[in-house]
Amino acid sequence: MIGVQRFSLFNLLCLIIFLAVVLGQENAQTMRDKASLLSFKTAIVSDPQHVLEDWNSLGVHVCNWSGIRCNKGRDQVVELDLSGRSLRGPISPALANLSSLSILDLSRNLFEGHIPGEIGSLFNLRQLSLSSNLLEGNIAAELGFLHKLVYLDLGSNRLEGEIPGTLFCNHSSSSLQYIDLSNNSLSGKIPLADGCKLKQLRFLLLWSNHLVGQVPAALANSSGLEWLDLESNMLSGKLPLEIIQKMPQLQYLYLSYNGFVSHNGNTNLEPFLTSLVNASNFQELELAGNNLGGEIPPIIGNLSTNLVQIHLDANLLYGSIPPQISNLVNLTLLNLSSNLLNGTIPPKLCQMTKLERVYLSNNSFSGEIPPALGDIPHLGLLDLSKNKLSGSIPDSFANLSQLRRLLLYENQLSGTIPPSLGKCINLEILDLSHNQISGVIPSEVAGLRSLKLYLNLSSNHLHGPLPMELSKMDMVLAVDLSSNNLSGTIPSQLGSCIAIEYLNLSVNSLEGPLPVSIGKLPYLQKLDVSSNQLIGEIPESLQDSLTLKKVNFSFNNFSGNVSSKGAFSSLTIDSFLGNVGLCGSIKGLPNCRKKHAHHLAILSILLSLLITPIFCIFGYPLMHRSKFQRHLAIFDHGDLRDDEEEEKKELKYPRISYEQLVEATGGFSASSLIGAGRFGHVYKGVLQDNSVIAVKVLDLKTDGEILGSFKRECQVLKRTRHRNLIRIITACSRPDFKALVLPLMSNGSLERHLYSSHGLSHGLNLIQLVSICNDVAEGVAYLHHHSPVRVVHCDLKPSNILLDDDMTALVTDFGIARLVKGSDENIPTNDSTSFSSADGLLCGSIGYIAPEYGMGKCASIEGDVFSFGVLLLEIVTGRRPTDVLFHEGSSLHEWVKSHYPSRVDSIVQQAIDRCVPDSMPKQYNKIWWDVVLELIELGLMCAQYNPSMRPSMQDVAHEMGRVKEYISNPSSLLIEEVGLKVDALSLG
């Protein structure tokens, strides 16, 4: 027993000594990890979110620091995740001392400089994520020695040079499952030499670089590859069928916008498509924008039935569409446009009942349009333009309840326009131009209220009068009925098309006068009525238009005096040719003869002598009666308070009488007019104390609507106060006159700075534009989230953004705003200060209106976010949303989205060329690039179709603030990636 006790005591003593040694070693490891992390922290120059504040705090164990995770024994750091934390500075090589580190995620920050090669000594590392930073230089070759690495993401940085061979070709790379080096400036070949084996690889993303050469044959060893994206490089050679055929798990293959060719001297696409047949879960194929020749082989029908998208556009393919393609029953998008295809459109195409978008434009298809196309239930876009199609338009298109865009222009179609097209209640674009269509314009089609973008029936053989039903198109942006045989008069009811910006009725046989209502269209920019038989005087309403830019009255029978003032000030004789009865001050027109001028002068004097005494007797006292004073509404722009406090605050503002407004504006003369809109006119005024004001006078001819607008704007301006919202000086309200008095913004609206047509010699630079966008975001975020009574603006656009002396942006024009009480973001239907769709108001301006508004949804803060997104994209592209709608056939955000991400470089470069003056430092070119790309990504996120997917305006303002600080002080803040991102690979 004694021996056993001695032995037990001895063993216990050994165990204690052993544990002490082990614990001592573990404590030493923890101290080394702690020292490494503190060294990493020391290199951080900006931590705006205060993420690292608790690092080294008294009493806080290193395993409890932000972004740190330790093993179960809490003695070794195994994970450092600081993604998306706005950190700025270099990545310290001291991280190499975290010997047990398994996950290092520093993505979506502003880390700069080179990637430390010392990271290659973290032999336990399984995930390395450094994407979306400002890292530059070459990829460190030492990263190829991370033996256990499973996930590598270095995408969206400034990396350059060749990809090191050790990264792909090393015994340590055999465990890699995910590689993302996309969106950098990497060059050279893909470094996969023979013998390299990435057997575990599932995702390889190298898009948007400068890679050259062929796809390496060794990639065939990655037989488990699911996602291969080599898009937008400079790769060449034959399509890699020997590689692809060994990838049965492949789901996504993106090879677009390279220089690939097909086999057998670029004549045979069948071998490559055959290589994809065994990929049973294949879903998307993109081969657009290459040099592919040959026919589309029947084998395409043997591809996986899981295939949902095929992009073969912008190639050199010829021949017909094989009917076997109809086997792809789950296909939603088929794009074969811009090739050399011919033959007829196979009726079997209509068996693909899940098709949503079909692009067959710019080919040589002939024959008739298959009526069975009308049996595709979900078809939303059909583009058959620029072909040689003949016959009539099928009546069956009436069955396409989801059809939004029908493009059949530049074919050889004949027959009449089927009235049944009027049943396509969701149609937004109808373009049948440049065909041989005859007959009259059906009233059912003319009355399509769903048309929001454009109606183009030009260059056909249409005859008969303009249908009165055209006036129902109150959302349409452009109407082109030119080059037909239309007759009769132009109906004055066209003035009801209040959203129209482009109207072309030229080269017809229209007669009678030009209606005055046309000139009152609030957004009309281009009008062409040339080569008709119109008579009478040109309406003065056109000259008074503040939006009209281009007009053509040539070759009619117009007569009378034409002034060179107003909208006509920039016109030349070219707009008036062939009208022998016209005279006036336009250069090239004959001078008008002055008749009975002395009689007119005498009459004017007599009227003056008669009216002045009457005004003195009756008018002046009336204007000073206390009853009139009670109609003056003086609003404070502070928070809501009780009436007594409000009355005290009102005394701080001057009471400006109607007489003073008349005097300040020269009797509201045309020379004082500085703007006009749907609800009235804006005049510049100078008060007796020389203060400059803007007087917004409402047009009371449309009583209820204008009164509602006046009340809304008063309510909004009374209840809000923010540096980026226009403030009210005073208001004048009486039964026959209503006006708001506002401070005059010396730099005008953002619109006049964005477009040279407003006469500015130069636009705004990128720093100014970012600051303006930040101001707008701050102002709208206040309306949505911080105002005492929350407000939905409903009409956010450049013309409603004013700039003061310091170029600070102020949001204005709340004429159709909605006030939202309480915390509910929806408009309460029983609230007297809320305004539902029953108001009959167009909820915004064409091009900026959220899509859900077109489906009868009430105004919402998400709608404002959508408009702000469009505004960002407009600023970046320099294109009005309406211009894109007409010329491109899609909305601005859809057009930009179609270029993102693979083809966005050209948009970014054009924005930099336009908005970055030569005087700005060239070393910041990558900074400008990142800022523009961030604006695009944020704009696309805001303009998402689903309202619930859009960020809040508060989050948008936060992001804009960071971009503003970043561009003002480069590398100071994170520019987060907001585009779509591939789901991270599970590491188990």
Q: Which parts are annotated binding residues?
A: 696
> Could you tell me how far CA 662 lies from the centroid of its own chain?
42
Contact of 30 with 75, CB cutoff 8 Å: yes
Distances (CA, A) of 191 to 196, 617, 837: 9, 96, 61
Residues 6+ apart with CB under 8 A from 775: 724, 808, 809, 810
Which tokens belong to 757? 């047509």
Q: Three-state SS for 802?
A: strand
The annotation places the binding site for ATP at 696
Taking alpha carbons only, the member of 436, 563, 587, 578 closest to residue 506 is 578
| Burial label, 609 (beta-carbon count in 10 A; 0-12, 13-18, 19+) | exposed
Taking alpha carbons only, the member of 884, 880, 873 closest to residue 908 is 873
Phi then psi dihedrals of residue 340, to 5 deg = -120, 30
Residues 6+ apart with CB under 8 A from 894: none
Contact of 661 with 741, CB cutoff 8 Å: yes
Q: Distance (Å, rounded) from C-alpha 820 to C-alpha 824? A: 8
Residues 6+ apart with CB under 8 A from 474: 449, 496, 497, 498, 499, 842
Q: DSSP secondary-structure letter at 618?
A: I
Contact of 907 with 896, CB cutoff 8 Å: yes
Taking alpha carbons only, the member of 468, 735, 756 closest to residue 627 is 735
> Could you tell me how far CA 956 lies from the centroid of its own chain?
14
Check 75, 480, 795, 883 and give the catalytic one. 795
| Annotation marks residue 689 as catalytic | no
Tell me which amino acid residue 841 is.
Answer: L
Tell me which amino acid residue 2 is.
Answer: I
Residue 741's H or E segment, with its range, is strand 737-743
Q: Distance (Å, rounded) from C-alpha 82 to C-alpha 735? A: 63
Q: Distance (Å, rounded) from C-alpha 935 to C-alpha 536? A: 50
**End-to-end distance of the chain based on CA atoms, in angstroms?**
52
Please report the sign of the dihedral spanned by the C-alpha atoms of residue 710, residue 713, residue 719, residue 722: negative
Tell me which amino acid residue 244 is.
Answer: I
Q: DSSP secondary-structure letter at 605?
A: H
Which tokens belong to 911? 């924005």
Q: Distance (Å, rounded) from C-alpha 629 to C-alpha 927? A: 57
Residue 778's H or E segment, with its range, is helix 766-785
Which tokens belong to 747? 């730099």
Taking alpha carbons only, the member of 81, 82, 61 closest to residue 73 is 61
Phi then psi dihedrals of residue 389, to 5 deg = -70, 145
> Could you tell me how far CA 687 lies from the centroid of its own chain?
42
Q: Distance (Å, rounded) from C-alpha 659 to C-alpha 643? A: 28
Taking alpha carbons only, the member of 354, 353, 272, 281 closest to residue 315 is 272
Tell me which amino acid residue 681 is.
Answer: H
Phi then psi dihedrals of residue 748, to 5 deg = 70, -155
* Cross-strand bridge partners of residue 696: 682, 740
Contact of 488 with 466, CB cutoff 8 Å: yes
Residues 6+ apart with CB under 8 A from 109: 82, 83, 84, 85, 86, 87, 88, 132, 133, 974
Q: Distance (Å, rounded) from C-alpha 167 to C-alpha 153? A: 12
- List residues with catalytic annotation: 795
